[in-house]
Amino acid sequence: MLEMKGITKRFPGVIANYRVDFDVYPGEVHTLLGENGAGKSTLMKVLYGLYPADEGTVLVDGAEVVLESPNDAIEHGIGMVHQHFMLVPTLTVAENVSLGLKSSRGFLTDLAAVSQKIDELSSQYGLDIDPSAYIWQLSVGERQRVEIIKALYRDARILILDEPTAVLTPQEVDQLFVTLRKLTDDGRGLIFISHKLHEVLALSTRITVLRLGEVTGQIPVEGATRESLATMMVGRSVKLKPDKLPSEPGEVELDISDLTVMGDRGLVAIDNLSLEVRRGEILGIAGVSGNGQRELAETIAGLRKAESGSITVGGVDVTGAHPKTVRKAGLAYVPEERMREGAIAGFNVWENLLLIDHGSKDFLRRGLFDFGAITDYAQGLVEAFDVRTPSIDTPCGSLSGGNIQKVIMARELSSSPTVLVASQPTRGVDIGAAEYIHRRLIDKRNVLTDAEFIQAKLIEHRNACTAILMISEDLDEVFGLADRIAVLYEGRIMDIVDPDTATREQVGLLMAGVEPETN
């Protein structure tokens, strides 16, 4: 029903798509797989009329079509569920759905009729939603359902789903898949974009893999394995689960007790939470975003005020302390918003590496920057952390997300921290880089095993290892890295489980706020 032939899309200096062929048959789920920057989103934006293609043709039902705007795409029965929901928060569900459509009442809105049709679609596909609710009142999962209804309302026969599971709990993912199967049963064609391999394998009919803008393979789901797909994506074999030695937890280095913190809207974000992280272990915080992760990390880092409770880092009480004091106590912090809080886009690589230590006498000569020392230092970190940058004078803003994250990791870990708080360390980082960052986290914990980090300075100044608190919404990451998993729900720790014995389902229920069974 859909054919894209020889699509090429160039941006200044980059070829995002090169002669890509892609097609969809009725009733199938055709997955588009690839690392970030592989060109999946660009291809879909071309299909949805958001970008014009430089070369190539698009055929719908065998006839060539011109897609110059989303309107054209909608007219040809193409719908899209965007990764960042395209919903106006201050409008109701019905208003969002009817936006851009001709009203049956002329220039007046016809929300009653729209609501009725939404109800019909809801019951047909199990997309339970209240048409009169405002978007801002809805949960992430509900918003996604509105996105799907929006496309169905426009009679979309081809539906693009851009990373639809990224923001969902495992249970919500299951529910979504049920809906999607109903859609394919109706003869609709789905384009599914994801990099979560187990989901891809569970849902797809066919899989097309993109790497660096080109198709590297198109295979039916039968016979595909996670390893084979990963190899096609990255172009070499990838270890999906990092190797790690059993942890040997030492003393408590980060101790949080009875912490209560308010969120931006003045509601309780962290509710009487207690946690301890020992040296030599990684404590993973799992949970759906918006359950207090950001507030927790910010409060530890001294960026947010605690209402009550206490935080100690390396035995020093840092409750309510200035971020500088917290750092002095031995905390390193990799923030969630790496472009906004972690690095300064306009600063180049060495400036970002020096953000914290620029006052250190190692880098100063007669009060001025000693560029010789700085270059050596920055060059060393760039190599040690495999930052792929043309030079240390390149502005960070022009690097990829993964490389920016490596710059931040390099800076934070170089200060020999007692405690490291890492928020979403690999979100939006492609798998190659993610793999690397995972390895670093584990290396850091077992300092002695990594030759690159056995440097005189580190050994001399530290006789202990780092306690790491890792906050992540990616269950793969949490299960792969953490020594213990704490599940955060509405600002409280639901339970702490052992990743070697716990199941994903068990953690998923905790993430949804279901109390653990006591037996």
Instruction: Provide long-range contacts, Cβ within 8 A and 24+ apart, for 351-358.
Output: 352/396, 352/407, 352/408, 352/411, 353/377, 353/378, 353/381, 353/382, 353/392, 353/407, 353/410, 353/411, 353/414, 354/378, 354/411, 355/411, 356/327, 356/411, 356/415, 357/414, 357/415
Kindly state the smallest distance separating residue 473's Cβ from other proteins, in Å.
23
Stretch that binds other proteins, among 100-108, 193-201, 251-259, 441-449 (CB under 8 A): 100-108
Alpha-carbon distance of 459 to 277, in angstroms, equals 22
Stretch that binds other proteins, among 104-112, 254-262, 327-335, 394-402 (CB under 8 A): 104-112
Residue 8 as a binder of other proteins (CB under 8 A): the answer is no
Residue 267 as a binder of other proteins (CB under 8 A): the answer is no
Residue 98 as a binder of other proteins (CB under 8 A): the answer is yes
Kindly state the smallest distance separating residue 82's Cβ from other proteins, in Å.
7
Specify the DSSP class assigned to residue 105: B
Residue 89 as a binder of other proteins (CB under 8 A): the answer is yes
Please report, as a single letter, which amino acid is at residue 316.
V
Residue 80 as a binder of other proteins (CB under 8 A): the answer is yes
- The pair phi, psi for residue 200, each rounded to 5°, is -60, -45
Residue 456 as a binder of other proteins (CB under 8 A): the answer is no
DSSP-based three-state secondary structure for 450 = coil
Residue 132 as a binder of other proteins (CB under 8 A): the answer is no
Residue 48 as a binder of other proteins (CB under 8 A): the answer is yes
Residue 15 as a binder of other proteins (CB under 8 A): the answer is no
Q: Which is nearer to other proteins, 70 or 323 (CB)?
A: 70
Residue 161 forms beta bridges with which residues? 81, 192
How many angstroms separate the first and last alpha carbons of the chain? Answer: 54
Kindly state the smallest distance separating residue 180's Cβ from other proteins, in Å.
20
Helix, strand, coil shares, percent, the chain, to 5: 35, 25, 40
Stretch that binds other proteins, among 97-105, 240-248, 306-314, 501-509 (CB under 8 A): 97-105
Residue 50 as a binder of other proteins (CB under 8 A): the answer is yes
List binders of other proteins among 185-214 (CB under 8 A).
none
Runs of H (alpha helix) within 154-269: 170-185, 197-203, 226-234
The residue from 13, 62, 63, 107 that contacts other proteins (CB under 8 A) is 107
Residue 70 as a binder of other proteins (CB under 8 A): the answer is yes
Among candidate residues 84, 79, 96, 77, the one with its CA nearest the CA of residue 164: 84
Residues lying near other proteins in the complex (CB under 8 A)? 45, 48, 50-51, 69-71, 74, 80, 82, 85-91, 95-96, 98-101, 103, 107-109, 150
